[in-house]
Structure 1
Amino acid sequence: MGHNFNWEWGNVSLLMHSQYKFLGVYMPLANKIFNRIFKKIRSRSGTVLLSAHHMTREFLPHRNTQYCLGLVADQSPANLGKAEWFHFFDRKTAFTMGPAKNAAKNNTVVIFGFISRPKRGYYHVTFSVAEEFPTAESATTLTSEFVKYLESVIKANPDMWLWSHRRWKHEWKEEYGPVIQ
């Protein structure tokens, strides 16, 4: 899913509607006090939090269990050398390929999520199966489908997306390779 208000409801909603353990990847905050507060809030419903900085190491204890892994995957990638560039809102935009590569490698069902607000104080969480057998698709195709999905739900609900989170802080350069439609 993307940074749609209130994306924290995705955490709670998935736990309420799934029989599996929910692993949520989060970006640690620089302020240690706020980081501790947000970790407590995000984990109080049973979510197991995995730091984006140490995801591989923190994921290891869960690798042989059944789980749902939640990612808010619309942030600008930290490593542009491993990113691919797509047209997103008519701008060349980098997306990380890790989630799609891991889904294909592990043949993990890919589910897209979106949170809408039908009226003040009410949120509706929609999850849809994007790919049941991801080994049949390339990581580029899976990511391209996410980019299209994300753009379509943002266009339908522009007030719900966090427009201020510096999505376009990096500019495309020819050395990054082609831009995917």
Structure 2
Amino acid sequence: MYYLVYIPFYLLSLLPLQVLYLLSDFLAAMTWYVFGYRKKVVLDNLRIAFPEKSEKERKTIAKRFYRNFVDNFIETLKLLSAGKKFITKRFVLDSDPFTALYQSGRKCQLHLGHNFNWEIANAVMPFYTSYSFMVVYMPLKNKAMERLFQHLRTRTGSVMLPATNMRNAIVPYRHTQYMLALVADQAPGDVNKAYWLNFFGRPTPFVKGPESGARVGNIPVVFVQIYKVKRGYYRAYLEVGAENPHELPEGELTRRYISFLEKAIRQHPDMWLWSHRRWKHPWNASYSKLWIGQDQPPS
């Protein structure tokens, strides 16, 4: 079953990217105009995030989002056969806070959001750092697709750690000098064990794991914003969120990250994954003890 999936995808990946983008344009149009994949979720999310914009402006963002959404898949497909030269040409870093951290002997965490194209970022990072580069990910239920993405995501040297077994998966690396990438805007599975604060003006739960791991190990944290220069070319803006997280009060690192994330989304709104139901959990006064916002929790 795996090779029935791998072989046609690999053959497609051999096509020039310009040809693949023609396919992407067609699929994006079909996704928006015909299938309407999660169209209501996307538009509802944009209304929450940008109430000041007109419906026409929000639809423009949505259409650009769908183009980036499909491009993300097409560019990921291309990675099956792309070499180092192709990958490093299309994704560069605006700065490098990693060298000094590595030379000091410390580990490092990256906190990023669902900004396109995170798959190219995963592929390129082992070329840009001396760290062992590890990524926490959510395994796919389809075994053939899981095997395909495991191959794709590890072929340049990245190590994948399943979120479902994170504590055990990281044990073999606990004494090594690693860089751990965490998509920190994930919706928590249990909102009763989350941090709550305003995100785009609405109470929103966020997972505690990225902050708690950094604080326990006093691991420096770097925030990452991925943005598109032009089609197929990306840059990453890097900002040190905290060099010594254990010195911060609980919740402060998450507050800093959410502020960074919201600013990044406002700068490039079509680059974030709006098809997530990010505000599906309504606020309840019983969550007040979990509130970390600097403002008062809703009554």
1:140-166 deviation digits (Å, cap 9, x = unpaired): 000010000000000000011011122
Counterparts of 1:53 and 1:114 in 2: how far apart (Å)?
25
- In the alignment, which of 120, 123, 146 is matched to residue 12 of structure 1? 123
What's the counterpart of residue 232 of structure 2? 121
Does residue 28 of structure 1 match 2:124? no
TM-fit CA distance, 1:122? 0.7
What's the counterpart of residue 62 of structure 2? none
What's the counterpart of residue 157 of structure 2? 46
Specify the code of the residue in structure 2 equivalent to 1:142: L
Counterparts of 1:15 and 1:168 in 2: how far apart (Å)?
34
What's the counterpart of residue 220 of structure 2? 109
Counterparts of 1:41 and 1:168 in 2: how far apart (Å)?
31
Number of aligned residue pairs: 181
Residue pair 2:124, 2:156 contacting (<8 A) in 1 also: no
Q: Which has the higher contact order (CA 8 A, sep 6+)?
A: 1
Greater per-residue helix proportion? 2
What's the counterpart of residue 60 of structure 1? 171
Identity %: 45
Residue pair 1:81, 1:176 contacting (<8 A) in 2 also: yes
- In the alignment, which of 93, 104, 114 is matched to residue 204 of structure 2? 93
Distance 1:15 1:126, change over 3 A: farther
Structure 2 spans left out of the alignment, 5+ residues: 1-111, 295-299
Over alpha carbons, which structure has the higher Rg? Answer: 2
- Which one is further off, 121-130 or 108-117? 121-130
Specify the code of the residue in structure 1 equivalent to 2:126: L
Counterparts of 1:21 and 1:71 in 2: how far apart (Å)?
14
Specify the code of the residue in structure 1 equivalent to 2:220: V
TM-fit CA distance, 1:9? 2.4
After the TM superposition, which parts of structure 1 deviate over 6 Å for at least 4 consecutive aligned residues?
none
TM-fit CA distance, 1:37? 1.2
Q: CA RMSD in A?
A: 1.2
TM-score (norm 1): 0.95
